[in-house]
Structure 1
């Protein structure tokens, strides 16, 4: 079960070092589980999803019958809640509950059909939307980052190595777009003010 926390501040990306990246949420979740099993202070770890995409999965066609059925179910739930409230306020029997469910189903079905008719055929399908990340980063606070790398490395997780700048061959002219730092002159420097 995932618990969302607003600590230390809601809406702020946690500071720290990115230890590893994963393509699937289950992989980064397994890494955090490994850290927890090793008695690592997991409260200093964050999972950050990046490259977010909105995915809408089409679940079927929307027909008038389906719109009526869906509306009737929603109306039944609403009617049930109203009937139970009425029952709590002093009704002598369950007739308010049955009446609420029945009336809710009828009006919900009518509203479902009316809403589908008003769409004008522009959306004749049902779908479920969700936001998914294409990459998940495991970020750790600076003071425990080395231990985090050690624990994950010992348990077989492939971690990125430290960044190594590319070696530049100074015997050839630089390629287009390649920046090199000019070396100081190696011979004696002539005085520009001398005669």
Structure 2
């Protein structure tokens, strides 16, 4: 049974639009975070504050060019770590085995790592010969609060804007 104050379990995690009045707008998330930290330090009821990224975009930054050497080297390294782990586990639970399970695990890990990396990279047929990192960013970040605290929040953030930024 749900009450008027408790959301139904099926709607608890659904995306909802932010509520509140804007009390500040910033170019970076770091500046918005600094503003909310200032509000918290000033004993402002921050449980009523929301930071909203406006005009979101996905930014993909290219880090490096992919080559067969880089792909096979990374596959060998990741396979070696996995093979070493399996070899260590086998040597711990095999009495008197010595280094054989570790070396076999390491060698087979390298072989399987190189083979799986080569198959994955070969399947792309040169369509993605680069490594990149994606990030979700916004053009600006608005700080919102409930209407009952908006005037106090604006005054506190105006006082913060008058102070020099600490780096």
- Alignment TM class, shorter chain as reference: 0.7 to 0.9
Higher helix share goes to which structure? 2
Give the CA deviation at 1:132.
1.3
Unaligned runs of 5+ in 1: 1-7, 158-195
Give the CA deviation at 1:64.
0.6
Task: Tell me the SS of whatever aligns to 2:50.
Answer: strand
TM-score when normalising by structure 1 = 0.65
Match of 1:134 among 132, 139, 144: 139
Give the CA deviation at 1:44.
1.5
84 and 45 in structure 1: CA distance in 2 versus 1, 3 angstrom threshold: farther
**Superposed, which structure 2 residues align to 1:136-175 within 5 Å?**
136-156=141-161
Point out the structure with max Rg over C-alpha: 1
CA distance, structure 1, for counterparts of residue 140 and residue 119 of structure 2: 42
Give the CA deviation at 1:30.
0.9
CA distance, structure 1, for counterparts of residue 16 and residue 98 of structure 2: 51
Give the CA deviation at 1:77.
3.9
Task: Tell me the SS of whatever aligns to 2:125.
Answer: coil
TM-score when normalising by structure 2 = 0.75
CA distance, structure 2, for counterparts of residue 40 and residue 110 of structure 1: 58
In structure 2, the residue matched to 1:70 is 74
CA-based RMSD of the aligned residues comes to: 2.5
CA distance, structure 1, for counterparts of residue 87 and residue 144 of structure 2: 50
Q: Write out per-residue CA displacement over residues 155-184 of structure 1, whole angstroms, 9 at most, x where no aligned residue.
A: 226xxxxxxxxxxxxxxxxxxxxxxxxxxx
Q: How many residues align?
A: 149
Unaligned runs of 5+ in 2: 1-10, 163-167
CA distance, structure 2, for counterparts of residue 105 and residue 46 of structure 1: 49
Contact 2:35–2:160, Cα closer than 8 Å, also in 1: no
